[in-house]
Structure 1
Amino acid sequence: MADESYRESEVDGTIVKWDPDQMRKIQEHPCYSEKASHTFGRAHLPVAPKCNVQCNYCVRKFDCVNESRPGVTSEILNPEQALKKIRDIVAEHPYIKVVGIAGPGDPLYNEATFETFRLIHENFPDLILCVSTNGLLLPDKIDLLEKYGVSNITVTMNALDPDVAAQIYQFINYQGKRYDSGREMGELLIGKQLEGIRLAVERKMLVKVNTVYIPGINDSQILEIAKKISSMGVYIHNIIPLIAQAKFAHLKPPTMEEKLAMQELCKPYVKQMSHCQRCRADAVGCLGKDINPCTGHKSE
C-alpha cells in the first residue's frame, strides 16, 4: 500500500478501487503523489481568516512574509481577488493544477471560501479543488463542497481519545456555543471529524488526514488514527512534527528519527506522506519551490 501508484484500498474488509477520475486527482496533486510534487504545483488562496478552533500549537499571522508554515499569509483576498489571482497564475504557470484553500483560519468557517470555490469551479472546471480543515464543520458543509467541485479534502485529526484532544485544543465554537477544553469538547470535535471523513469518502472525495505529532501528548494516538482512517477509506496520512509555539512553545518537537519510526508503524495501515513542506496559506508553486507571494519570483 505504500506505493504511490496503488489503485485500490481496503475499507472495512472490502476492496475499493480508485476510478480514473480519482486517479487523475491523485496523480496531479502534489500532496497526494510525491511524483506529482516534482511536476505539478498548487496555489493556496488565503480567503479564510476566521477560525472556530483554537489549537495550542497554532499562531495565525497576516501580512507576514518571513515565515513558511501553516497559518501565515501576506494578505487576505476576497473571492473576486482570488479568481483574478488564479487567472494570472494559470496563465503564467500552466503546471499549477490544484487550487486549495487552507486558511489562515478554518476555510469551512468562512463564507468567502464557498464563493471562491464557486468562482474557480465555474471558470476553471479542470482545476483540482481542495480544502484543508479541522473538520468541525465538515458534515455541515460537505454538500456545498460537493456542489462546487471540491474533490480533495484534508482533515487535521490529532486524537481519537477525547481526553487527549482536550489537551491539544483550548476551545471550539460550534453553532454559536463555545466549548472550553474538557471531554465534551473533544467528543464533539472528534465525532464531527469522523462523520465528515465518512461523508467525504461516500461522495468519492479523496481524503488526506494530517496529524500533528506532539511528543508526550498524542504519541499513543497516532497509530490508532492510522488504523481508524484506513478502515474508513482515507487515501493518505501526513504525520507533521510539532512546531513548538503558542501554548506548546515549551514542548520539544519529535526528532526526524522519531517521525520516521512513527511513519513506519502506520505504513502497514495507510499510505504515508513523506514529502510535506508545511505550506503557508498563500503558497504557490511546486512543493519546496514556492513562488514568493510578494515578488512573484521563486524563493531561495
Structure 2
Amino acid sequence: MAEDGYKVATVQGREVQWDPEQMRKIQEHPCFSEKACHSFGRMHLPVAPRCNIQCNYCVRDYDCVNESRPGVTSRVLTPDEAVAMIKKVMAQYNYIKVIGIAGPGEPLANEETFETLRLVHEFFPSTIRCISTNGLLLPEKIDLLEKYGVGNVTVTLNALDPEVGAKIYSFINYHGNRYEGVEGAKILLENQLKGIELAVKKHMIVKINTVYIPGVNDDQILEIARKTSAMGAYTFNLIPLIAQYKFADIVPPTPAEKRAMQDQCAPYIKQMRHCQRCRADAIGKIGHDVQSCVYGDEGTKKD
C-alpha cells in the first residue's frame, strides 16, 4: 500500500512509489513521458561549452545553424543571458515546463552551469530543472544539483566493460589529469554508476542515454538496460550513432535494428522511443522547435 501522498506505479513489472512532485517531474517532462511531449515543452540553455571527455562520435559545434543534433548551438550564453532568454521564452510560450542544460559540452564541468541553476532556482522555482551529463563528475556535484532543485538527470552510459569503453572514449580529463584507454574508461564507468546510485537515493528521476554503435557496443546495451533498471533508473533512451569524427566510417543502426534492440531492453526498463536528438539550444516541443523564433537568424527550426 502506498504511503500517504504517494502513488504506486508499475514500471516494467516493478512497483515503484512516486511522491506528487516526482510524478510532476515525469508527467510534465517531454523526454520522460511520451504523452507530455505533445503538451509540454523544454528549453535547453547552452551555457556549458567545455567538456571533460572526448567521445569518438562527438563533434561540438558553436555558431551552428545547419545541424540538429547534440553538441551544437547557435551560440553559448552567459548565465545572465540565459535568465533573460528564459524570461523572453516564458512570455511567448507558456507550455515550457522544463529548463535543461545539456551542453554543448559537459554541464558539470562548467561553473557557468551552477550559476545558471542558482539563478533559475531563484527566479523560476516552479520549473522542472534537468541536467544531461556524461557522469564523470556526477558523484561530487550531486549535492549542488540537489541544492538547486534539479529533479531530472540524464546520464550517457555507453559501456559496462572498460575494454569496450576504451574504444568509445579517446580520453577523459579528471581532476587535472588526462587518462586514456581502459584506465580512463574505468574511472568514467565507476563514477557513472556511483552518480546514478546517488541520484536515485536523492529521489531524482534518472534517464539513461546509450549511443548504439554497431560493431562496438552492441553486446553492452541489454546489460546496461538491466543493470540501470535494477539501480532505479526510470527510462532508457537508445540513440543511434551519428557517423562522424572517429566513427565516421561506421554505418549507423537502421530504424529496424534500433527498434529490435529497444524491444529486447523493454522488459527491463521503460523505453523512450520519441527522442529527436535535440540541439544544446533546443526550445519548444520535441520535434517542433521554436529557437529560430527566439534567436532570430541564429536559430533553427525543425517541423
Q: Say yes or no: TM over 0.5.
A: yes
2:187 aligns to what? Answer: 188
1:204 aligns to what? Answer: 203
Cα offset for 1:176?
0.5
TM-score, normalising length: structure 1: 0.95
1:107 aligns to what? Answer: 107
Q: What amino acid does structure 1 have at the position aligned with 2:44?
A: H
The share of aligned pairs that are identical, in percent, is 64
Task: Find out whether 1:248 has 2:268 as its counterpart.
Answer: no
Q: What amino acid does structure 1 have at the position aligned with 2:199?
A: A
Q: What amino acid does structure 2 have at the position aligned with 1:68?
A: S
Q: 1:291 to 1:146 in 2, by over 3 A?
A: same
> Which segments of structure 1 move beyond 3 Å, counting only runs of 4 or more?
8-11, 296-300
CA offsets per residue over residues 137-195 of structure 1, 9 Å max, x none? 000100000000000000000000000000000000000110012x2111111000000
Q: What amino acid does structure 1 have at the position aligned with 2:120?
A: I
Cα distance between partner residues in 2 of 1:231 and 1:252 = 31
Cα distance between partner residues in 1 of 2:257 and 2:47 = 35
1:41 aligns to what? Answer: 41
Contact 1:43/1:96, CA 8 A, preserved across alignment: yes
Task: Find out whether 1:152 has 2:149 as its counterpart.
Answer: no
CA offsets per residue over residues 20-65 of structure 1, 9 Å max, x none? 1111110000000011001100000000000001000000000000
CA offsets per residue over residues 187-244 of structure 1, 9 Å max, x none? 1110000000000000000000000000000000000000000100000000000000
Gaps of 5+ in 1: none
2:20 aligns to what? Answer: 20
Cα distance between partner residues in 2 of 1:230 and 1:94 = 33
1:7 aligns to what? Answer: 9
Cα distance between partner residues in 2 of 1:299 and 1:108 = 28
SS state of the match for residue 7, structure 1?
A: strand
1:216 aligns to what? Answer: 215
2:277 aligns to what? Answer: 278
Task: Find out whether 1:165 has 2:165 as its counterpart.
Answer: yes
Cα distance between partner residues in 2 of 1:157 and 1:95 = 30
Q: What amino acid does structure 2 have at the position aligned with 1:268?
A: P
Cα offset for 1:299?
3.9
Q: What amino acid does structure 2 have at the position aligned with 1:82?
A: A
Q: 1:252 to 1:146 in 2, by over 3 A?
A: same
Cα distance between partner residues in 1 of 2:8 and 2:179 = 41
SS state of the match for residue 276, structure 1?
A: coil
Contact 2:66/2:300, CA 8 A, preserved across alignment: no
1:291 aligns to what? Answer: 290
Cα distance between partner residues in 1 of 2:260 and 2:139 = 33
TM-score, normalising length: structure 2: 0.94
SS state of the match for residue 76, structure 2?
A: coil
1:92 aligns to what? Answer: 92
Contact 2:64/2:74, CA 8 A, preserved across alignment: yes
Cα offset for 1:128?
0.2
Cα offset for 1:16?
3.0
Cα distance between partner residues in 2 of 1:10 and 1:174 = 36
Task: Find out whether 1:129 has 2:129 as its counterpart.
Answer: yes
Cα distance between partner residues in 2 of 1:22 and 1:30 = 14
Please give the root-mean-square deviation of Cα atoms over the aligned residues, in Å.
Answer: 1.6
2:4 aligns to what? Answer: none
Q: What amino acid does structure 1 have at the position aligned with 2:200?
A: V
Q: What amino acid does structure 2 have at the position aligned with 1:235?
A: Y
1:60 aligns to what? Answer: 60
Contact 1:9/1:17, CA 8 A, preserved across alignment: no
Q: 1:6 to 1:30 in 2, by over 3 A?
A: farther
Cα offset for 1:91?
1.1
SS state of the match for residue 291, structure 2?
A: coil
Gaps of 5+ in 2: 1-6
1:120 aligns to what? Answer: 120
Cα offset for 1:292?
3.0
